[in-house]
Amino acid sequence: MTSLDYSRMFRLDGRHAVVVGCGGIGAEIAAGLAAQGATLSCLDKDGGVAEATQDRLADPSGRAHAAYPVDVLDTASLHRLAGELRDVDVLVLTAAVNVRKRLLDYTAEEFDTVVGLNLRATFETVRAFAPRMVERGSGSVVALTSIRAVVVEPGQGVYAATKAGVMQLVRTWSAELGPAGVRVNAVAPGVVETPLTQQIRDDERWGRAYAEKSALGRWARPEEMVGAVCWLASDAASFVTGSQVMVDGGWTAVDGRFTPPFG
């Protein structure tokens, strides 16, 4: 007899989820987790963004969703807040930045900016929240990586290096925290229609090339990242850890979009 209730295996009722980075994809993820029953704490450097996401989650059932302005590069403030939010069951990390430049054109300051937010802040955020998950013997951490953790293009080198680095942290955390019942996974989006990619979509040729690179032949919508995150957060993924779920429309599965002649 299975101990898993199939009728509720995707539900998150009674669980506290923290989403770090609540603009764009993060806002959709927060809404998706709340729809599955979780109580949300929305964290963002911009307090207004965090509050806007909290307002979107208004719940007639009385769940007390919260918003907190926090700079994840401020280690002391981050750890202090993690100490206040003690009963965290789900931690989702979405905050990232990119500077599109060829590697030889990068400045040291730009390198530090990308590595600082994408890699070091991810490291510190898990260090802040995971210990209490370990103490309780359960928890799910989901980090957003990228197709750039696997494949690269000119101008994306430092960003790609940080996302590959995050995935190696995910694998290591899964090994180190797994015995305590804490699962750590990643979701790797492909090209998604967000304000951060507006520059690409404004260039018709560039935007079309990205759309045609995937097997589905289009860009993703932010809400299409939500299902994978909710699954990894839930009991439905109770034996999944150390994995990177590609939500990329087949980008990393296909070798270009040209269909050669057959016969």
Q: Is 68 a catalytic residue?
A: no
Name the active-site residue from 6, 68, 159, 210: 159
Q: Which residues have C-beta within 8 Å of that of residue 74, sequence separation ≥ 6?
A: none
CA torsion sign for 243, 244, 250, 252 is negative
- Which residues are part of the catalytic machinery? 159
